[in-house]
Structures are given as structure tokens and as C-alpha cells.
Amino acid sequence: MSVIILYFLGGIGLFLFGITLLSNNVIEVGGNLFKYRLNKILANPLYATGLGLSVTVIIQSSSATNSFTVRLADKGLLDTESSYYIVMGANIGTTITAYLAVLAKLNFTYLIAAILFPAAVIFMTTKNYKLKNYSKILSCLSLVFIGLIIVKDSLTPLHDTIYNFLSSNDRPLMLFLFSLLITIIFQSSSLTSVLLVTMAGLNIISIQSALLMVMAINIGTCFSVLLAGIGCSLKGWSVAIFHLLFNVIGTFLHLFLLYSGLLDFIINARIPADTKIALYHTFFNATTTLFVFYFIPQISSIINKIIKKRART
């Protein structure tokens, strides 16, 4: 058990180190691009949301996208409200993993991690300044994903225990709390989603319980983004807090929809259970985004008050 804990802590450390190096190198290479051109584009909320969605679909990790967004906001390279829209897009983008679990258990995380080798070779051999800088950025991106892989693999021995626990318990509150805890520990909503979709496909848990677990997964994924906020300025923290509020608001909204019967169209849909859960995960984040989209000024005001209160203490 001590080895598992050390391996786990090493993975968390590598993830945080990689995120810090990545943001620093991107700032060094393209600081002016971020500050002037990108911020001009991201002034449009739809473009900012689309960017968060697209990046997360490509790299298969909302944790990495949102943590990186926190760091860029911290350095003043992203406008705070633009960062909020990127976070919402990233939350929608991360749901693609559930569909991959339905189609086949593919994982692009390892492919991105493997980029470290060619990137390191290019960095050591090239004399081209731009190429050297871009290879540094790719190397840092790989370190982020290697950290996530280590976290996931360090807890592989516990997979069977988790699976047995979920299959033998169908109490909604217990499953909600357990899903929340597991997502926090594994630092990956993608991993928990794959586990949930697999179990739903085997009819081990009820659809109602699975919907509650999806809500818990979305809150649990906030932990890595809050970790990325360590050492950040108040701007960086505001993005991390927004991510948490986004998922808490979404959970309360969907608890209302679930217990008022408004989610019955998903529960009673005549499609396979695993596909149903994958679709619901997207539905959760898409509807929460639509709901929150029009309340950004009010939410931003609440966050500013929280931040100011924290600054005075």
C-alpha cells in the first residue's frame, strides 16, 4: 500500500510540474499572441466555448485543459470571463471519452504521453530556435499526461475492489459519494466514466443510480483544477472556483430534473444502457452550459466577492 501511495503522489507531482512548465513555456513562446490576438478572438463567448470543447476532444482531458486555463488566467494572458467559457466548453468536450468506451476502449492519453520521445529528440538535436521551443511545449504537455497515467496506473490494483463495491451497492447517496471520491483520487473523470459506462452496459447498476454517479463525477473532476490553482493569483483562483461552481450548479439543476421526472425521457429511452449514460454525460454538461451561459455576469460577481473576501483574510 505504501508503494501505491508513493506512486500516486509522484503522479500528482508530475502532473502539477508539467502544467507549470507548460504554461511557462507557452507564455515564453507566444505571450504576445495570447495577450492580443487570442484574447480578441475569445471575446466572443461562442468561440471561447468552442475552443475549450475542441482542445479537450483532441487531448482527451478536461483536467489538463482547465488546469492550463487557470495558469494562463493567472498570468493575465486570458481574460477571466473568456476563461469561464473555455471551462464550460472543456466540460462538454470531456464527455467524448464515454463514447469511446462505448465504441471501443481506446485511450489517446498514452499516444500524447509518447510524444515526449520525439519532442525530446528534436529539442536535443535541432538548432532551429522556433522548433526547439515548440518541442519544449510538446514535452511539457506529455509530462502532464504521463502524470495522469501514473495516477491512474498507481491505483490499478484497486480496480476490482471498486468494481465489486459498485456492483454490490445500489444506494443512491452511497454511489454518489463513492463516485465523487474515486474521481478525486484517480484525478480523471474519463476513467470513472469508462468504468460507469462499462457497468451500465452489464446492467450491474440502475440507470437512476448511474445518472447520480455522472453528477458526482463532474464535481469530482474539479479537484485537479483546484490543485492547479495552488500558488496562483486571485485571477487564477477565480477560474478554479468557477469550474467548481459550474459543476455544483449543474448537479443541483439535474437533481431537480431527475426527481421531478423531467429526465424520464432518458431513463426510459429504448437504447442500450451504456449509450444512454454516454449521452446523459453530454446532456449534463451541455444543459448546464446553456443554463450558466446567461448568468456569467452574476456568477462572476459572486466569485469576485469570494475572491475579495479571501484576499482580506
pLDDT digits (tens, 9 = 90+) for 101-138: 555 444 566 777 888 899 989 988 888 888 888 888 88
Round the average pLDDT of the chain to a whole number and report it: 78
Q: Residue range 176-205: average pLDDT?
A: 72
Residue 105 counted as domain residue: yes
Q: 241: closest CA among 229, 233, 252? A: 229
Residue 284 counted as domain residue: yes
Higher pLDDT, 2 or 103: 2
pLDDT above 80 for 208: yes
Domain count, the chain: 1
d(CA 152, CA 186): 6
Q: How high is the pLDDT of residue 215?
A: 92
CA 312 to centroid of chain Cα atoms = 30
d(CA 75, CA 70): 9
Residue 313 counted as domain residue: no
Residue 283 counted as domain residue: yes
pLDDT digits (tens, 9 = 90+) for 281-297: 889 999 999 999 888 88
pLDDT above 90 for 250: yes
Check if the beta carbon of residue 224 is closer than 8 Å to that of residue 67. Answer: yes
pLDDT digits (tens, 9 = 90+) for 72-110: 788 777 788 888 999 999 888 877 756 655 554 445 667
pTM assigned to the model: 0.72
How many angstroms separate the Cα of 168 from the Cα of each of 29, 101, 199, 205, 271?
52, 22, 12, 9, 24
Print the domain residue range for 101.
2-308
Residue 72 counted as domain residue: yes
Question: What helix, strand, coil percent values describe the chain, rounded to 5?
Answer: 85, 0, 15
pLDDT digits (tens, 9 = 90+) for 153-169: 765 666 666 666 666 66
pLDDT above 70 for 34: no
